[in-house]
Amino acid sequence: MIVNDRITAYINSLDMGNGELLDAIARGARQDGIPVIKKETESLLKTLVAARQPETILEVGTAVGYSALLMSRVMPEHCHITTIEKYEKRIPVARENFRRAGQEGRITLLKGDAEQILPSLRGSFDFIFMDAAKGQYIHWLPWLLRLMRPGAVLVSDNVLQEGDIIESRYAVERRNRTIHSRMREYLYTLKHMDELETAILPIGDGVAVSTRR
């Protein structure tokens, strides 16, 4: 935990849930070891979407469709989500969850690697949620900037690596060093870009919220 466990537990105790279906999807995913966003991050994501009132949302990393469905609960009626997922086994599960929630007409799932899909996307987005391979965030950033309208919001999840981000490169496990160095580069870049105004928040596993100037 990045923030005191008791504070996090108290904050989460206030949460009313997201309805029977979404709560069941989240429980099932966590039991199966499928990563879904942390409870306190859910609230931030929904609040940001509700505040921005986007017409178009891009999500990088669908998993079982949980976060897309969270956003669909608070986005405007005319808004549409485009979400990208490359893991074959999760794609039919996500599509079935969209169907069960009655949101298949408002959510388009693109099957494939974001590395290939992002450069091919046309148009622009008001809101982007990035929750995929952390080591790729820095590589995807130029494509995301191209897709962001002025005033668009980019939310990047899992950026503090359970607090390891503050450690020396040699203090983290060898297998995590590349991700560690790339994430530090990503956060530095977000904070030093003229195009973006960014806040890094110690919520969940760390969230960066960036607005396109």
Residue identified by tokens 């079935």 is 96
Residues above pLDDT 90, as percent of the chain:
86
For 59-79, write each residue's pLDDT tens digit. Answer: 999 999 999 999 999 999 999
User: What is the average per-residue pLDDT within 190-209?
Assistant: 96
Domain layout of the chain by residue ranges: 5-212
- 206 SS3 class: coil
Partners of residue 209 on adjacent β-strands: 155, 199
Among 66, 30, 206, smallest CA distance to 134 is for 206
Q: Which pLDDT value is given to residue 1?
A: 56
pTM above 0.85, yes or no: yes
Q: Which long-range contacts (CB under 8 A, 24 or more apart) does 165-172 make?
A: 165/206
The rounded distance, in Å, linking the Cα atoms of 147 and 134 is 19
Question: Confidence class of residue 169 from pLDDT cuts 50, 70 and 90?
Answer: confident
Partners of residue 199 on adjacent β-strands: 209
CATH number of 5-212: 3.40.50.150
